[in-house]
Structure formats: C-alpha cells, structure tokens
C-alpha cells in the first residue's frame, strides 16, 4: 500500500491559493492514502470566533469539493482538515474522502490553547473506516498528547492513524514513534510549515511531517521549512500482528483490571 503526506505552507484565509498549492504539490502523484495538514485551506491563527466562522463550511463546501477532486486525480483516499460548522457550533475537523465520496468527519477531541475559544470540543466517538480492506483511523494534532486516542483507535482495529496537524510544540514527531510502537500501527502525521503572526500570537510551525512504522521506525521525515510530498510503501499485515515477541502480545497482555478508567 502506498501512503503519503502533503506538507503545505498555507496563506491565512486564502482558500483558493491554498488549494492551488496542494494541486501543484500533487501533480502526477498517485497513492492509496494521502494526508493533508489540519486546517490546510484556512490557516490556523484566528483572532476571533467570528473570523473562524467566516472561514467555516458545511460538508458540501469548497474544501469538500476540492478534496473530492483531489481524490479522483490521485486515486487516493484523502484525509484533510477544515473548519466545520454545524448550527451555531464550529469544530476543528478532518474529513475522509475516498473514490470522490465523503465517508465521514472526525471532530478534534483535545483542543489546544485558544482553539478552546473558537471551537467546540469533538462530540463524536472515534471511528475506524474500512477502505479496500484497510482500516484507517483519524486524530488531529494535539490528540497525540493523549495516548488514549491512539490506543482507542487501535482497539477499534485501525491499521493506520491519519494525523492532520499544525504543530508548534517540538515533541510530536518523536512521540509518534512511541505511539506507533506501543500500538503497532502506522502513523501518517501531515504537518505544515511557515509562521503566522496575528493578534497576540506568533506561531512557528515545525514541519517535519512524518510516516512512522508499526515498529517505531521513521520511514519518512519532511524538511522543517519546505513544502513537501513523500510516499512510502507499507505492509498493512505487519500492523495486524500485535505480538512483540513469542511471549508478548501488546493487546492481550493488558491488565485492564488494574487500570484507572
């Protein structure tokens, strides 16, 4: 299976320009799964909820239509972030599209910093999508900080965690080697680059998008300051074998009766 990330440098509020950047980066790209960053079409550093709302969309908006087109062009299942509006609430969400069809939407469970001022916390259970025999789960950016997210997706049967991100803390890329190792799943972290200075905030995004193997090895790491696309062939069956050795199975060995809930 061929999987990859698309590392972008979005311009705040300029959806069409950001779509064009992705189109250029994916020229002639063919894959089975591609992951885009969190909020890849809008930028991240909002100064008010009203501003975030002005860039929000429903499930039939510009971003959905663009990702359907990208899915068709690349032959890939696509996971990408957007601002979802439902009634009066905004969500930091990611949609999953395959064969030009919207399969579902994940809403970020763990909001970081001022996201709590603009977005409602995710209110839907974690879910795994089975596409052509492969199980794909989604988490967004700061969700990585909570190991329960990746473990829950693993218990649901995921083979690959698609991880759209706008990372500003310096820890995630290294931590994903542990997340993938402790769950024996693949991870596709699609980060962005660039700097956004808006209002009181000055964010420098860390790049280094990463494909992490079920055994904790880094299969691909993007530059920290350049837009980038990379693809890697992976063996899904490796993620389905939860045995660390002939005596230890990381799922069956759990001592749930001693864990706090």
Catalytic residues: 38, 108, 141
Helix (H, G, I), strand (E, B) or coil at 153: helix
- How many Å apart are CA 180 and CA 161, to the nearest integer? 9
Burial 40-73 (b: 16+ CB within 10 A, else e): bbbbbbbeeeebbeebbbeeebebbebbbebbeb
DSSP state of 113: T
Helix (H, G, I), strand (E, B) or coil at 133: coil
- How many Å apart are CA 6 and CA 116, to the nearest integer? 26
CB 35 within 8 A of CB 190: yes
Tokens of 152: 């829950």
Torsion of CA 4, 26, 132, 41, to 10 degrees: 80
């Amino acid at each position: 299976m061929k999987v990859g990330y698309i590392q972008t440098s979005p311009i705040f509020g300029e959806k069409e320009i950001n779509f064009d950047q992705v189109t250029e980066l994916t020229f002639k790209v063919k894959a089975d799964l591609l992951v885009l960053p969190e909020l890849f079409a809008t930028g991240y550093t909002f100064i008010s909820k009203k501003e975030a709302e002005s860039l929000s969309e429903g499930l039939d908006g510009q971003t959905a239509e663009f990702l359907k087109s990208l899915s068709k062009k690349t032959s890939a299942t696509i996971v990408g972030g957007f601002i979802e509006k439902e009634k009066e609430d905004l969500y930091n969400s990611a949609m999953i599209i395959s064969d030009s069809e919207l399969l579902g939407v994940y809403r970020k469970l763990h909001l970081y910093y001022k996201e709590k001022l603009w977005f409602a916390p995710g209110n839907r259970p974690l879910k795994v999508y089975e596409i052509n025999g492969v199980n794909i789960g989604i988490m967004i950016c700061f969700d990585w900080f909570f190991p329960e997210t990746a473990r829950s997706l693993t218990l649901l049967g995921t083979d690959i965690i698609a991880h759209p991100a706008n990372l500003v803390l310096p820890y995630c890329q290294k931590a994903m080697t542990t997340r993938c190792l402790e769950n024996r799943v693949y991870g596709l972290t699609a980060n962005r680059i660039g700097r956004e200075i808006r209002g009181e905030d000055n964010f420098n995004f860390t790049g280094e998008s990463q494909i992490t193997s079920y055994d904790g090895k880094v299969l691909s790491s993007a530059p920290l300051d350049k837009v980038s696309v990379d693809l890697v062939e992976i063996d899904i069956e490796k993620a389905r074998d939860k045995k660390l050795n002939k005596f230890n199975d990381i799922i069956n060995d759990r001592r749930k009766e001693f864990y706090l809930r």
